[in-house]
Copies of this chain bind each other. A is one copy, B any other.
Amino acid sequence: MIKAKKSQVFVIGGTHGNEFTGVYLIKKLRSQNLKKNYNKISPFFELGNEEAFRLNRRYVDHDLNRCFSKDFLLEAKKKLEEKGEGFLEHEEKLALNFDKLFKEEKADFIIDLHTTTSQMGPTLILSHKDHLSLTVAAHLKKAFPALKVICEFKELEDNYCLFTQAQAGILLEFGPVPQGVLKSELFLLMEKVVKETLSFLESAGEGEVGPYKMEELETFHVLENLDYPRDEEGNLRGMIHPDREGKDFLPIKDGEPLFICFDGETIPWKGPTVWPIFMNEAAYYEKSVAMVLTSKQKGF
């Protein structure tokens, strides 16, 4: 008798070291010895970047959630072969280790846990367009109506994120949580969402998965990033306007206030109606991203 292969599900917290929620949630889930609850899936609970967590920083040398492009991994492998491990930067080493782990264990699904300083509430980000990932999103939206679903579909080979290293997966992004802080309400909600996802994946093979009207699901599709106003030297010239602050997922129309400059000038949004998210994310100041513009849609 051939034993059916279990689905290998990786739950990763602390891909960014100063996002405490994922780190402590992984520690908690590990302590609960959950493997025994599942037959069809085999869950792994991994810490993404323990050294960055120890330093209370997003990363040591590179943002680990940007380290999984083909080029980055190839470059790191080349360095490893030519010069040895001692020459690898911290996240080069981590990315190679995760790449190896996901391949050896044949990772089927990755759940990557993040927090944002934006007032986005509980959100789920999709990068894969496979049936399982979409169904998981549809199921979670049904189970947690407050959850927003963000779509940033990419060809897998073009993707640089950790959770796109399996054929299916989701990224959970909960806010607002300052860096280096735990907010219990969002922590406990994220735990519920992770456990619901594991239960769903456990039952997904058994025909227990109900029908989902995917075409009716509210989704936010990423259009482009928008930077803060800056001067010629690249210094900040303003901030998110008080009228806009905290209004992630609410539409902004042509002419409505978007930024307020230090000199008092208000800069309005110019363009078609869009739905900004990731507004005022602390880690995005250095990435020149004041917000990510999306369009609100039905379905994928």
Contacts and interface: CB of A to CB of B under 8 A. Distances in A.
Given A56-B286, A286-B56, A182 B27 contact: no
A263 B52 CA distance: 25
Nearest to A116: B178
Contacts of A236: 24, 182
A47 to B, nearest CB: 13
A196 to B, nearest CB: 18
A45 interface: no
Give the interface size bracket for A toward B.
20 to 34
Interface stretch (A69-77, A153-161, A198-206, A239-247): A239-247
A27 B184 contact: no
Contacts of A263: 28, 31
B239 A184 contact: yes
B262 A24 contact: yes
Contacts of A187: 239
A283 B182 CA distance: 12
Interface string A12-41: 000000000000100110010000000000
A285 B55 CA distance: 12
Contacts of A286: 56
A185 B56 CA distance: 28
A188 interface: yes
A181 B24 CA distance: 24
A245 B181 CA distance: 12
A245 B282 contact: no
A65 interface: no
Nearest to A185: B242
A183 interface: yes
Interface string A178-214: 1111111101100000000000000000000000000
A3 B179 CA distance: 51
B240 A184 contact: yes
Contacts of A283: 180
Interface of A: 24, 27-28, 31, 56, 117, 176, 178-185, 187-188, 236, 239-242, 245, 260, 262-263, 280, 282-283, 285-286
Given A176-B178, A184-B241, 15 more contacts: A24-B239, A27-B262, A31-B263, A56-B286, A178-B178, A178-B179, A179-B282, A180-B285, A181-B280, A181-B285, A182-B236, A184-B239, A184-B242, A185-B242, A188-B260
